[in-house]
Amino acid sequence: MHDESTPPIEGYEGLPIATLQHRVRSLDTEQMRRLIGYEEQHANRTGVLELLRNRLHSLEEGAEPSEGSQEFQPERPGPPTGGSPVSADTAAPASSPPPQGVPNQPAKPKGDYQPGGQ
């Protein structure tokens, strides 16, 4: 049995909402109530509370806890696929400074204009 001061999902505080949405599927009605109470007393995040309350409502309407994997982490992408290696040949061309100048190269007046002149 979990202590009332800890959420029923390990690492709960750091989970993105997409992961949390998947993980709460395995919780029963009592665990959902405890998790909602924990969220209200700690971070009190509106989006998270909405997600948790919607899931609790579904359970109260007859939904059953499901396999909600505790390892599911959509926020962690897999290794990159395809693409080309980065090299000097594939790098973007060097860019020129903007026409208005850069801090160590202030712009020069055009034509015969003299600042402060008439």
- pLDDT grade, residue 82 (50/70/90)? low
The reported pLDDT for the residue numbered 1 is: 47
Q: Report the number of distinct structural domains present in the chain.
A: 1
- Does the structure show a pLDDT above 90 at 108? no
pLDDT in tens, 12-48: 888 888 889 888 999 999 999 999 999 999 999 999 9
Residue 46 within any structural domain of the chain: yes
Residue 92 within any structural domain of the chain: no
Instruction: From 75, 78, 73, 77, select the one nearest 22 (Cα to Cα).
Output: 73
Dihedral sign from CA coordinates of 52, 53, 57, 60: positive
Helix (H) or strand (E) holding 59: helix 46-60
Residue 30 within any structural domain of the chain: yes
Report yes or no on whether pTM surpasses 0.95. Answer: no
> What is the total residue count of the chain?
118
Q: State how far the Cα of 3 lies from the Cα of 37, in Å rounded to an integer.
A: 13
Residue 42 within any structural domain of the chain: yes
Residue 45 within any structural domain of the chain: yes
Residue 95 within any structural domain of the chain: no
The reported pLDDT for the residue numbered 56 is: 95
Residues facing 106 on adjacent strands: 101
Whether the Cβ atoms of residue 51 and residue 16 lie closer than 8 Å to each other? no
The mean pLDDT of 51-78, rounded to a whole number, is 77
- DSSP label at residue 25: G
What domain range is 48 assigned to? 17-60
